[in-house]
């Protein structure tokens, strides 16, 4: 099968470079010394019988983190990162993830628990493996790299070639070529990427095959790794022969199941390999890769990219390996695996030839320079082995004393990193924090997630056959369309709420400045708010807190409001404190007080210093990427200071509250203070009723309340509704400045999936 010419002639290069990518990563949970922990798989991850991302492999301590397949490798890597962050933040305080493939600090074999899965057969299979291979060998971890050739490429190439008349046969031949050529040249990846040069003595027990102090490239890929008995030889000459020989060894009892065949490539797409003949291979799983301890996720994105290019090359080259070449490849693999990682490889010339061929391929494919640079880096590593992962690793181990100590150190470092912006998911930081929080919970609880549109915060979530769509973290099928439309329109909101018997400040609407000013006598002496009818950003609002007494002031305020809208409202001003109630269904889940940006004096530091100190809180940042915002010292803040007779260099007295803003918005440095437990229940019930009156399931209700500890009375002096929000900011409640965190995103998931355990 010759693809290269076909791709070049018919400009299939772009399709050829497309595909689907998935990564599975095994690793051990450890304590802070690097010892494997005896604890059960954390229950916070729900049930392993359905969890798509967080599973256990052989042992109870052995996490298996699985990305969903993606069209872009970069996205797969983002998922790998996200799943890691969720896992690391969900582990017990004293547990970490070991970054090496070879375990350390192994307990006695008898104490190693096979993964406690629900399925009896799964447990039995693991017990069988323990018996045949020993438990220690099963504790080795690695990366499995799944690659699916682009369907569109297969379609196009099939239509243009002449060798195959059946599309399935063509597809299977493509995968056989990919698999066999990979097996032929896999040693190259081991040379460049392997990271299991050594293992603790206890691993081999008395039968240690290596000399004292002997270092190798990859114990895991060597004959001392995870291999079948030597007489189990599967024929790779064709898929047909592959299927038959595999079935033979299962029938003979040499293998308990097809999956006990430990090839570095598995052809995927069916429960039994025989089905592949008819259904066709769906994707291939490459199982060669040692964990790279220098990456918190076990693999660097650049290396994942390199592996993709290597796989493309295995399809690109004209030769198609058969069983003979596969055998040769295995020999080379074993030889390279046991080479001294500090030395050049015996096959340097072949390695460089393949990499140069890849470079030529990139040229033909008009690949970006970055990919060529990546190839050049790898080429250089054939000349200088110290640049390989192993090379760098040995230096690091030497510095730390042992790979166990290095692993423990890195594991702690990676966990700390995962907590640095604990309110975010780094890989999805292009989305809003609320959506990130929802994603965190959904990953943790094992919902199947599809990012339908990241810019638009649009997700599909699935549990079994139950599909739900979510936008902005809380817009769902559970709300009626009409509810947000009601809330969007302040006039309609008030009419609807008034009709339902809730206290709303009275207001009068005007359609012209003249009309409004003519009605000035209606408002003279009253405390009123003048605002545009439908703006949402606080623009154009004037408050006469002490009552409006001057017609010219009134006219000015009216004019300002009309700049923002064609209609303007003059509304009663309510006296009291504004609280935000987050309602979900029949419950007020959180109550928040928002306080304008401020600092508290200590009699020692200047305002500027106090602001700096307050801004150093890890919750405070700029833009929309943190739950709280840094306090600025701009014109508005300086003016506010001036009104209090202060400058940034003033030193406020101890306990003195210095206000830096008049408005309480979180976006201008305000503080969010959780008051859920302090708020009288009657107000929480009111908020629920208000949401219900608008038919809303998820709703942010703003109430003005003079005293939060006494029960609500029916009069407008006791409380009033200011506004209702159909897209309430959940982050304010999840990560408040003061008080308890309220994990609202979990409640949203529970609403969508009440069947979640």
Positions in the binding site for its own copies (CB under 8 A): 11, 13-15, 450, 452-453, 455-456, 458, 460, 469-471, 475-486, 489, 491-492, 495-496, 499, 519, 521-522, 524, 566-567, 695, 726
Strand order in the sheet with 448-453: 448-453, 458-463, 466-471
What is the token pair recorded at 595?
């306080």
**Alpha-carbon distances, residue 84 vs 95, 227, 335, 426, 440 (angstroms):** 13, 28, 34, 10, 11
> What b-and-e string marks burial along 581-607, b requiring 16 or more CB atoms within 10 Å of the CB?
bbbbbeebbbbbbbbbbbbebeeeebb
On whether the CB atoms of residues 136 and 109 are closer than 8 A, the answer is yes
The string over 286-314, giving b where at least 16 C-beta atoms fall within 10 Å of a residue's C-beta and e elsewhere, is: bbbbbbbbbbbbbbebbbbbbbbbbbbbb
DSSP string, 516-575: HHHTHHHHTTS-EEEEESS--SSTT-EEETT----HHHHHHHHHHHHTT-S-EEEEEPPP
The string of DSSP letters for 290-304 reads PP-TTSTTSS-HHHH
CB 421, min distance to its own copies, A: 25
Which tokens sit at 551? 């017609």
Residue 621 CB, nearest approach to its own copies (Å): 24
Min CB(625)–its own copies separation in Å: 19
Instruction: Identify which of residues 486 and 722 has a Cβ nearer to its own copies in the complex.
Output: 486
Q: Which is nearer to its own copies, 450 or 681 (CB)?
A: 450
Quote the least distance from Cβ 526 to its own copies, whole Å: 12
How far apart CA 753 and CA 526 sit, in angstroms, is 49
As measured in angstroms, the least distance from the Cβ of 441 to its own copies is 18
The secondary element (H helix, E strand) that includes residue 281 is: none
Taken as a whole, the chain contains a residue count of 757
Burial 383-417 (b: 16+ CB within 10 A, else e): eebeebbbeebbeebeeeeebbebbbbbbeebbee
Of the pair 94, 524, the CB lying nearest its own copies is at 524
CB nearer to its own copies: pick between 524 and 643? 524
Encoding tokens for residue 679? 């708020």
Q: How far apart are CA 47 and CA 50, in angstroms?
A: 6
Nearer to its own copies, 447 or 611 (CB): 447
Residue closer to its own copies (CB basis): 8 or 259:
8
Please identify, using beta-carbon distances, which residue of 382 and 753 lies nearer to its own copies.
Answer: 753
Least separation in angstroms between CB 691 and its own copies: 13
Give the shortest CB-685-to-its own copies separation in angstroms.
21
Closest-CA residue to 29 (of 119, 117, 90, 110)? 90
DSSP assignments along 660-698, one per residue: --SS--GGGT-EEEE-TTTS-HHHHHHHHHHHHHTT-SE
C-beta of 14 vs 201, nearer to its own copies: 14
| CB of 297 or CB of 510, closer to its own copies | 510
Report CA 161 to chain centroid distance, whole Å.
41
Q: How far is the CB of 726 from its own copies (least distance, A)?
A: 8
Nearer to its own copies, 365 or 425 (CB): 365
Distance, in Å, from the CA atom of 273 to the CA atom of 266, rounded to the nearest integer, reads 10
- Kindly state the smallest distance separating residue 40's Cβ from its own copies, in Å: 36
Shortest Cβ 573–its own copies spacing (Å): 17
Residue number, 254 or 509, with CB nearest to its own copies: 509
Kindly state the smallest distance separating residue 11's Cβ from its own copies, in Å. Answer: 4
Distance of closest approach, residue 235 Cβ to its own copies, in angstroms: 38
In this complex, which beta carbon is closest to its own copies, that of residue 49 or of residue 477? 477
The pair of three-digit structure tokens given for residue 345, joined into one six-digit string: 């490889």
Cβ at position 461, least distance to its own copies in Å: 11
What are the DSSP calls for 233-255, one per residue? ----S-HHHHHHHHHHHHHTTSS
Q: Which is nearer to its own copies, 621 or 695 (CB)?
A: 695
Beta bridge partners of 658: 599
Q: Closest separation between CB of residue 530 and its own copies, Å?
A: 17
- Looking at the Cβ atoms of 107 and 695, the one nearer to its own copies is 695
Order across the sheet with 542-544: list the strands. Answer: 507-510, 568-572, 528-532, 542-544
């Amino acid at each position: 099968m010759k693809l290269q010419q076909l791709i070049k002639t018919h400009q299939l290069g772009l399709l050829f470079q497309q595909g689907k990518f998935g990564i599975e990563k095994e690793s051990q949970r450890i304590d802070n010394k690097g010892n494997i922990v005896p604890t059960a798989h954390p229950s916070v991850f729900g049930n392993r019988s359905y969890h798509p991302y967080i599973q256990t492999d052989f042992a109870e301590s052995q996490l298996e983190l699985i990305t969903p397949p993606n069209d872009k490798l970069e996205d797969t890597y983002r998922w790998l990162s996200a799943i890691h962050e969720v896992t690391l933040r969900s582990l017990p305080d004293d547990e970490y993830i070991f970054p090496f493939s070879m375990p350390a600090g192994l307990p006695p074999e008898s104490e190693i628990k096979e993964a406690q899965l629900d399925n009896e057969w799964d447990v039995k299979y693991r017990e069988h493996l323990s018996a045949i291979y020993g438990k220690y060998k099963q504790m080795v971890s690695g990366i499995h790299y799944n690659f699916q050739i682009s369907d569109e490429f297969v379609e196009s190439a099939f239509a243009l070639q002449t060798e195959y008349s059946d599309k399935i046969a063509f597809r299977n031949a493509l995968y056989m070529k990919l698999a066999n050529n990979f097996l032929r040249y896999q040693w190259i990846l081991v040379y460049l990427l392997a990271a299991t040069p050594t293992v603790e003595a206890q691993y081999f027990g008395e039968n240690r095959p290596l000399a004292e102090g002997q270092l190798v490239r990859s114990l895991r890929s060597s004959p001392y790794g995870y291999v079948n008995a030597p007489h189990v030889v599967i024929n790779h000459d064709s898929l047909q022969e592959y299927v038959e020989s595999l079935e033979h060894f299962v029938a003979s009892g040499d293998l308990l199941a097809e999956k006990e065949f430990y090839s570095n490539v598995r052809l995927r797409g069916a429960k039994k390999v025989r089905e592949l003949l008819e259904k066709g291979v769906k994707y291939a799983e490459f199982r060669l890769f040692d964990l790279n301890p220098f990456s918190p996720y076990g693999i660097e994105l650049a290396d994942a990219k390199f592996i993709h290019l290597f796989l493309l090359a295995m399809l690109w080259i004209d030769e198609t390996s058969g069983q003979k070449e596969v055998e040769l490849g295995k020999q080379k693999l074993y030889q390279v695996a046991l080479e001294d990682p500090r030395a050049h490889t015996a096959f340097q010339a072949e390695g460089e030839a393949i990499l140069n061929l890849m470079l030529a391929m990139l040229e033909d494919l008009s690949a970006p320079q970055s990919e060529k640079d990546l190839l050049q880096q790898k080429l250089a590593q054939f000349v200088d082995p110290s640049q390989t992962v192993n090379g760098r690793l040995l230096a690091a181990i030497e510095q730390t004393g042992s790979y166990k100590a290095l692993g423990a150190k890195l594991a702690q470092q990676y966990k700390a990193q995962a907590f640095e912006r604990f309110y975010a998911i780094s890989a999805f930081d292009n989305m809003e924090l609320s959506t990130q929080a929802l994603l965190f919970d959904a990953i943790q609880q094992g919902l199947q997630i599809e990012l339908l549109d990241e810019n638009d915060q649009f997700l599909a979530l699935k549990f079994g056959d139950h599909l739900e769509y979510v936008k902005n973290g809380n817009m769902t099928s559970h709300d009626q369309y009409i509810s947000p439309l009601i809330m969007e329109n302040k006039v309609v909101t008030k009419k609807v709420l008034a009709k339902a018997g809730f206290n709303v400040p009275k207001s009068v609407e005007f359609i012209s400045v003249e009309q409004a000013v003519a009605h000035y006598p209606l408002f003279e002496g009253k405390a009123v708010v003048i605002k545009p009818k439908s703006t949402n950003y606080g623009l154009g609002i004037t408050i006469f807190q002490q009552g409006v007494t001057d017609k010219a002031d009134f006219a000015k305020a009216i004019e300002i409001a009309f700049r923002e809208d064609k209609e303007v409202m003059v509304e009663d001003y309510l006296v009291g404190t504004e609280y935000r109630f987050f309602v979900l269904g029949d419950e007020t889940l959180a109550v928040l007080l928002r306080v304008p940006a401020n600092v508290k004096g200590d009699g020692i530091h200047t305002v500027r210093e106090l602001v700096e100190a307050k801004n150093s809180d890890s919750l405070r940042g700029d833009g929309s990427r943190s739950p709280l915002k840094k306090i600025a010292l701009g014109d508005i803040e300086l003016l506010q200071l001036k009104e209090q007779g202060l400058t940034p260099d003033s030193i406020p007295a101890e306990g003195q509250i210095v206000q830096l803003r008049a408005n309480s918005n979180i976006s201008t440095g305000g503080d969010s203070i959780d008051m859920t437990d302090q708020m009288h229940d009657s107000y929480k019930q009111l908020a629920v009723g208000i949401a219900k009156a608008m038919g809303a399931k998820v709703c942010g209700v703003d109430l003005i309340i003079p005293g939060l500890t006494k029960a609500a009375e029916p009069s407008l002096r006791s409380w009033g509704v200011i506004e209702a929000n159909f897209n309430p900011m959940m982050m304010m409640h999840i990560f408040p400045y003061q008080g308890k965190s309220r994990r609202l995103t979990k409640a949203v998931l529970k609403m969508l999936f009440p069947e979640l355990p």
